[in-house]
């Protein structure tokens, strides 16, 4: 068992020295999913870590990531936050919310990643909340050009600088210090404390793998703290062949940022793309069924882009995996997107 009391520095390096914004209260709950277990015919404990309930503007995993980005923005004296993401980006919604709570403005660049002309996709869900928060919205035509999206965001920031503002950019493409991933290094410490307090043996933890900040940070945190609990990343954006090296790279970037040795060997990065089809921002029937089952058994509200795909992966693991140890589902939120995807969810 991990000795958490003994685990802060040096294994987590500078983690506790970096500025944080104080946007939410930890720990988030970890709850049993007994009804789902019964429906799936398994006696092993199934649990959900409620990272959808991170306090602010419908919550989600990105609040933990913004702790560090907006902490740095505050430390730099920024007055405007800039972020880029898909039209229904949860990160953009929460960046706008965090900026407002800290008294800053927010510019959001919405990228065309998903071919969807449904007016609900373009106006409801996260976009509606961003408008309520008074964020300034821009658009970027290419959904797969991360470097180009960052470049255009830089141009918007330059315009703001010339107008006397102090912009802070949250970058998209890899190659920047992965500040957001630190939120999930921290969450690994929190979850290990909960696992220890409950006296659980855990066989697998199922987590979404998109930009990799959540998956990479969490895996890094567990291994840095000496836990060998398996972690399975569910691909939500790219196939496994692209995602695995991305997570390996993220872990090295986190090690560089924290100034510690990377504790994650390459063969410890496990990802599956079995639930990705038909692609980013689109859900298969299996994913839609998983969303309905989680709602009907556990009153969990999942989205078709991230947490629904992750639940499909979780259900598959619960049905197939042998053993008696607990399985943990990390609920990363995405709740407002259900209103944008009403057509898919009610079809």
Ligand X SMILES: Cc1ncc(COP(=O)(O)O)c(C=O)c1O
Write out the catalytic residue numbers.
89
Tell me if 341 contacts ligand X by CB under 6 A.
no
| Non-local CB neighbours of 319 within 8 Å, separated by 6+ positions | 40, 41, 42
| Non-local CB neighbours of 241 within 8 Å, separated by 6+ positions | none
Residues 251-290 as x/- pattern, contact with ligand X by CB under 6 A: ----------------------------------------
Tell me if 332 contacts ligand X by CB under 6 A.
yes
Sequential DSSP letters for 7-72: -STTTTTTGGGS-----S-SPPPEEE-HHHHHHHT--S-EEEEETT--SSTT-BHHHHHHHHHHHH
* The residue to which tokens 């298969």 are assigned: 284
> Which residue's CB is nearer to ligand X, number 4 or number 274?
274
Span of 153-161, 185-193, 262-270, 327-335 interacting with ligand X by CB under 6 A: 327-335
Tell me if 60 contacts ligand X by CB under 6 A.
yes
Please count the helices (runs of H) and the strands (runs of E) in the chain.
13, 10
Residues 154-193 as x/- pattern, contact with ligand X by CB under 6 A: ----------------------------------------
202-241 residues in contact with ligand X (CB under 6 A) are 208-215
**Residue 276 Cβ vs ligand X, minimum distance, rounded to whole Å:** 13
**Residue 91 Cβ vs ligand X, minimum distance, rounded to whole Å:** 5
Tell me if 121 contacts ligand X by CB under 6 A.
no
Calpha distance 281→272 (Å, rounded): 17
| Non-local CB neighbours of 89 within 8 Å, separated by 6+ positions | 83, 108, 110, 126
Residue 290 three-state SS: helix
- How many CA atoms lie less than 13 Å away from 79 in the CB half-sphere? 6
**Residue 86 Cβ vs ligand X, minimum distance, rounded to whole Å:** 8
> Which residue's CB is nearer to ligand X, number 28 or number 61?
61
Choosing from 333, 338, 344, 345, the residue that interacts with ligand X (CB under 6 A) is 333
Determine whether 13 is exposed, middle or buried from the number of CB atoms within 10 Å of its CB (0-12, 13-18, 19+).
buried
**Residue 290 Cβ vs ligand X, minimum distance, rounded to whole Å:** 14
82: tokens are 């800039």
Choosing from 7, 54, 90, 109, the residue that interacts with ligand X (CB under 6 A) is 90
Number of residues that bind ligand X (CB under 6 A): 18
| Non-local CB neighbours of 216 within 8 Å, separated by 6+ positions | 178, 181, 184, 247, 250, 251, 254
**Residue 118 Cβ vs ligand X, minimum distance, rounded to whole Å:** 19
> Which residue's CB is nearer to ligand X, number 12 or number 86?
86
Which residues contact ligand X (rule: CB under 6 A)? 60-62, 90-91, 208-215, 306-307, 332-334
């Amino acid at each position: 068992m991990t000795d958490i009391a003994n685990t802060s520095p040096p294994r987590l390096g500078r983690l506790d020295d970096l500025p944080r914004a104080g946007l939410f209260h930890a720990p988030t709950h970890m709850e049993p999913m007994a009804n789902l277990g019964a429906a799936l015919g398994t006696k092993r404990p199934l649990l959900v870590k409620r990272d959808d309930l991170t306090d602010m503007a419908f919550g989600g995993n990105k609040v933990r990531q913004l702790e560090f980005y907006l902490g740095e923005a505050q430390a730099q004296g920024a007055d405007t936050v800039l972020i880029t993401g898909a039209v229904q980006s949860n990160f953009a919604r929460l960046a706008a919310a965090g900026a407002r709570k800290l008294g800053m403005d927010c510019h959001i660049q919405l990228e065309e990643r998903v071919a969807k002309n449904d007016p609900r996709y373009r106006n409801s869900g996260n976009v509606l909340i961003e408008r309520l928060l008074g964020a300034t919205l821009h658009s970027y035509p290419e959904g797969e050009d991360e470097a180009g999206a960052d470049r255009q965001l830089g141009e918007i920031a330059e315009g703001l600088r010339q107008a006397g503002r102090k912009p802070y950019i949250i970058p998209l493409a890899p190659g920047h210090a992965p500040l957001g991933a630190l939120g999930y290094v921290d969450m690994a410490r929190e979850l290990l404390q909960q696992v220890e307090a409950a006296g659980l043996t855990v066989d697998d933890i199922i987590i979404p793998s998109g930009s990799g900040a959540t998956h990479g940070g969490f895996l890094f945190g567990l291994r840095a703290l000496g836990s060998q609990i398996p972690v399975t990343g569910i691909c939500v954006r790219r196939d496994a062949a692209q995602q695995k090296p991305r997570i390996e790279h993220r872990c090295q970037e986190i090690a560089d940022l924290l100034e510690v040795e990377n504790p994650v060997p390459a063969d410890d990065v496990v990802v599956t793309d079995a639930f990705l089809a038909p692609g980013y921002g689109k859900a298969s029937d299996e994913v839609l069924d998983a969303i309905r089952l989680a709602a009907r058994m556990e009153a969990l509200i999942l989205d078709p882009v991230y947490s629904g795909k992750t639940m499909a992966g979780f259900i598959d693991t619960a049905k197939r995996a042998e053993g008696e140890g607990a399985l943990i589902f990390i609920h990363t939120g995405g709740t407002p997107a259900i209103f944008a995807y009403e057509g898919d969810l009610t079809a």
